[in-house]
Every structure is written in C-alpha cells, then in structure tokens.
Structure 1
Amino acid sequence: MLSKGEYLKDLLYRYQVNFDISENYKLENVTYPAYAYFHSFSEKYVLRKEAQLWAVNAFEHVFFITEDELSKATLDLVREHITESIEPQLVRKGGKYPQKDHMCSYITFVLLTDGELSDEVKKEVKKFRFDKGYMFNFRGHSEARIAAISMKTEEIVTNSNARDMRKLLQDVFDKQGRKEISPSSGEIAC
C-alpha cells in the first residue's frame, strides 16, 4: 500500500512542471501540506502590442490535504475555506471583482486519506459545487474542483469539474505499482 506521503511526493513531482509549489503553505489559520499555483496569460494584438485586441488571465490554485479519515466535516471545512478565504484573497485579491482580463480561476482540492472513502464522503464529493461569476461573467468566473483519494483501496472520487484529473491521479498508483514488480521475473520486489 502506498502511503499518503509517497503519493503526495509523486503527485507534486508531476505538478512541478507547470506549477509553482509551496510546501507547508499557510492561509489564515489553516496549514496545507502543499499548495500549487499556476498562471497563464494570453493576448491577441494587431501588428504592435499597443493595438491589443484582447487579453485573458487564467489561474489554478491547488491545495493538498492529508487526513487519516475523511468525513463530511472535512468537506464542510473545505467549502468554508473556499468562500471565506481562498476566493476573496487569492481570486479577487481583496477586491470586489478579480483583476481586469480575468477569465477563470480553478480552486482545486486533492484530499488524501489512509482509510476507505465512506459512502457519505463519496456522495458529498460528487455533489460538491462552487461556481461564482463576476459582473455577469465579464470578469470571468471561479469554480471548485475536488478529488478524494483512498490509499487503502486506491479509489478516486471527484466532483464533475475534476473528472479530467482522474487520469493523472490514477497514474500515480499505476506507476508506483509497476515500480514494485521486477521486470525480469514478474515477481514483487522486496
């Protein structure tokens, strides 16, 4: 069985290609084992940069949580932290709206647990929603993505916004499993 620490280390290794990673990241009164940040800027202009047609900024904030057991209370705390701290501070940066040319901000949570995922947790993760538009979406929107992962059963549950993450999250288990098998004999290496 893969430990939460090993899984997180491997996952962060994959994220570091495109994201800035901070370990033991503190936001208000909560400390996360890791936080990953991504920003993309695109623009279109005619002949010279001064003649800009459009520009867009896209962001992703990924928070990693490790727990012995996940519960509905954990998900309630995640929702509260999104609405009370993350969205106002990291998306809007304390303002009424995000900056000009803001297109979208993804707020992603990856929840790792040693235990099994209870039916209640699976149900809550699947129905987890946060989507907020700014100025009728003229200043873009933000949305939450959430994935819960059991180290014991290697089960991955996501909400609908995070379903594209499943392949990456499953690949960590698949690659770790292949490392334990000796290629010459097909036996488990000790």
Structure 2
Amino acid sequence: MTDLAGAAGYLLEAGMLKRARRSGWWIAGVRDPESIAEHSWRAALTGMVIASLEGADPARTAMLCVLHDTPETRIGDIPKIGRDYLTAADPREVVADQTADCPDRMTETVRDAIAEFEAGETPEAVCAKDADKLECLIQAVEYRHQGVATVGRWIDSSLAALKTDTAQRLAREVLEAEPLAWEQTRHQR
C-alpha cells in the first residue's frame, strides 16, 4: 500500500454521498430527493455565510459542513423518525474507521473536524450546526415551491433548532423569499 492509498480510498468512499439520497424527504413525499453531497455542499456555503456574519472562521465552518455527513457512507442517512428505533454508531467511531489507513495529518484533520462538529462548542461548530439545519429549511422551502405540501414539519423543526441570530434572521428571509426571484434580478452595468 502506498502512502496515499488510504487517502484515495477515503475519497472514493466519500463519492458515495453523491449517490446516497437524504431519506427523510421520502417521508415528505419527495420522489427524487437531494443527495447527501448536495446537502453538504449547500450547508458548507450556508455555513460560510453564517460564520462570516457571526465573526467565526468561515473556512473552518465550511470544512465542518463538508465533512459532517461523511460517516453516512457507512451508516446511511437515518431520518429523524428512524432515530427513535435505531442507535447509529457514533460518527467519531465511523470516521476513525474511515481514516484508519490515511496519512496521519489527513486523519487528524478529518477526525478533529468531526469531533468539533459533534461537540458543537466552538463558534465554528455552532455555525456549522446552524448551517446544517438552515440548509434543510431552505431545501424544504424549495420542495414546497415545487408542490410538495407536506414539508411544514421540516421547516418548523429546522427553524426551532437554529441558535445564532444570523441563522434565525436568514431563515425568516428564506421563508419570505420567492425561490426563483434571483433569476429575475440582474444589475445593469
């Protein structure tokens, strides 16, 4: 095994997130829900925005968001109702297995990020957790706009979970916004 074989394996495994769907949306009646990777991408972008406005490190927050669901390559996306019946492995344990053959510096980076996100104590982790919930709310608003009428619970629970003032204010703006309004606006040069 070369010194980067483990890193290559980790990257290939992470690709599963592009194919794995967010299963909670099936409960809401979404036929083709977003992938876990699509969620993580917009969560990272959302986290960067929240962190920059909250005075936290936007790059660190975005990294936490990109990595936060990587354990789901091995345990799947368990919807909230499923958590009442199942006990998922601790994400830190999953990541320890995922990175066991990776170079030490990479392993430390990934494991530390997941531990920080799970602990939720640093300003970056608080912003990342808010980004995770706010992204769910944004997605629910988009699905509602597409005709899925049963997403109210996802909106309500996501809104209730937000901690930062910025995330709460952004959520209110998203709830009032027309999802495609951006397409009709452009500034003349």
Q: TM-score, normalised by structure 1?
A: 0.31
Bigger relative contact order, structure 1 or 2 (CA pairs below 8 A, ≥6 apart):
2
Pair member with larger Rg: 1
| Larger strand percent | 1
| Larger helix percent | 2
